[in-house]
Amino acid sequence: MFDLSDKIALITGASRGIGLAIAQQLAQAGAMVVCVSRTLSAVEKVAADMQAEGLKAEAFACDVSDIQTVDKLVKSLVGRHGRIDILVNNAGITRDTLLLRMSENDWDTVLNINLKGAFNCVKSVTRPMMKQRSGKIINISSIVGLIGNAGQVNYAASKAGIIGLTKAAAKELAARGITVNCIAPGYIETDMTTDLPEKNREMLLKQIPLGRIGKAKDIAVMVHFLASDEANYITGQTFTVDGGMVMN
């Protein structure tokens, strides 16, 4: 079940945290994972560690906010492997501050990476996936995109935007056999969340019915399912993986 043998998967933000767990999960299911982030040395180490375990992995530096770099990367990937089966838009950043203090640069930087970056990658893989008449696109949003969060106007807007992008792309691409889905993680233990003061962490824990902070693997297994043929009849959806914080 959920076999990904010989699938070609592009994972953005794969150098650490959730992206790294996704890359490992998909590679263990048999996929050839193309790991990208802005820091070449970090993704090269990720790919080398996986190769040492007998898994299939490649590494490239790419800033997802730059459409030309993304397009070049996807073209060379398709040139080498002949296809692209899975795209996971995971790269993301935060620049948190209250609305009144938020600079135009804080807004633009977060929107450019989190939302435009996802658009750039979706746009670049669409042509080859349409030709193949198959493909799985999985976008990583956040529960903050569903319920908002004080101090994160830029981040919340970018993550809500990803949900809209997912639904519109899912409708456009369904007839070509391409599914587009979204995962909205809750609070997951990664570098992005390590700075949270102990007091806030305790308050947050009280809001998680399952009583624990999430692990990157909790998100990776959901990506694995959505990337598999077993999920062929699911598109345009947003799945919260959050220990029950947000219940629809």
Ligand X SMILES: NC(=O)c1ccc[n+]([C@@H]2O[C@H](COP(=O)([O-])OP(=O)(O)OC[C@H]3O[C@@H](n4cnc5c(N)ncnc54)[C@H](OP(=O)(O)O)[C@@H]3O)[C@@H](O)[C@H]2O)c1
Q: Which residues sit at the interface with ligand X, rule CB under 6 A?
A: 12-13, 15-19, 37-39, 42, 62-65, 90-93, 113, 117, 140, 142, 185, 187-188, 190-193
- Choosing from 155, 169, 183, 186, the catalytic residue is 155
Q: How far is the CB of 16 from ligand X (least distance, A)?
A: 5
Cβ proximity to ligand X: between 20 and 174 the closer is 20
Q: How far is the CB of 239 from ligand X (least distance, A)?
A: 12
Structure tokens given for 168: 């519109």
Q: How far is the CB of 40 from ligand X (least distance, A)?
A: 9
Q: For the chain, give the longest Cα–Cα distance.
A: 52
Active site residue 155: yes
Residue the block writes with tokens 């959920």: 2
Cβ proximity to ligand X: between 92 and 128 the closer is 92
Cβ proximity to ligand X: between 113 and 153 the closer is 113
Cβ proximity to ligand X: between 155 and 231 the closer is 155
Q: Residue 14 and residue 201: Cα distance in Å, rounded?
A: 25
Grouping H, G, I as helix, E, B as strand and the rest as coil, residue 197 is coil
Q: How far is the CB of 17 from ligand X (least distance, A)?
A: 2
Q: Which sign, positive or negative, has the C-alpha torsion 80, 76, 26, 4?
A: negative
Grouping H, G, I as helix, E, B as strand and the rest as coil, residue 65 is coil
Q: Residue 14 and residue 11: Cα distance in Å, rounded?
A: 6
List, in sequence order, every beta strand (DSSP E) within the chain: 8-12, 32-37, 56-61, 86-89, 135-140, 178-185, 238-241
Q: Which sign, positive or negative, has the C-alpha torsion 88, 110, 115, 73?
A: negative
Cβ proximity to ligand X: between 108 and 177 the closer is 108
Q: Residue 135 and residue 131: Cα distance in Å, rounded?
A: 10
Q: How far is the CB of 30 from ligand X (least distance, A)?
A: 23
| Residues taking part in catalysis | 155
